[in-house]
Amino acid sequence: MAVNYPNGKIYRPVQQAGKTESSKSSYGNRGMTLEEDLNATNEYYLHQGLAVIHKKPTPVQIVNVDYPKRSAAVIKEAYFKQSSTTDYNGVYKGKYIDFEAKETRNSTSFPLQNFHQHQIDHMQNVCRQDGICFVIISAFQQIYLLQAQHLFVFWERMADGGRKSIKKEELEDAAHSIQLGYQARIDYLKILDKLYF
């Protein structure tokens, strides 16, 4: 029997040799990326009238385009116009939402090198304006929502010469685990409701 996601995308389970049925369902083996799942979740939220959250486009300056014919233009050279801030933003229950999505395959810690100073600065600015800012992290076969305020503590520790990563145990203590769902694959609004509403 074929199963479709709410946006019409067909679910195709990933078959891996030597994997048991229970390990097939773990996040790392599912065959969709964190970004794809978040985009599908945000589409679901939008269609249900729950929230308006979109992935931010990365600003690009096109320098050279090859026009063999108008319908087949090919970009030959382009540059990022500026450093990007975070991946997603929008509004939920009248509050500004801004978040970054990150993944790691590291089995013991989450490397802080996944972030850049300009992203931390942006998140701090959002928090100063009373926006809701967080990171959704895929690590250790799980999905977590880490509030920006907690991320800042780990970032400051690194800046002061401390660890350059968040230990698995620290992330599990500071973050909120998100169980994978069917329609809203990564239903982070449930966590926001508990934290802010």
Q: How far apart are CA 109 and CA 37, in angstroms?
A: 23
Q: For residue 121, say whether it is annotated as part of any ligand binding site.
A: no
Q: Which residues contact 143 (CB under 8 A, 6 or more apart)?
A: 27, 34, 136, 137, 177, 178, 180, 186
Does the CA dihedral 4-5-6-9 come out positive or negative? negative
Q: For residue 41, say whether it is annotated as part of any ligand binding site.
A: no
Q: For residue 119, say whether it is annotated as part of any ligand binding site.
A: yes
Query: What is the phi/psi pair of residue 150, to 5°?
Result: -75, -40
Q: For residue 87, say whether it is annotated as part of any ligand binding site.
A: yes
Identity of residue 89: N
Residue stretches of the annotated binding site: 85, 87, 100, 119
Residue stretches of the annotated binding site for Mg(2+): 85, 87, 100, 119
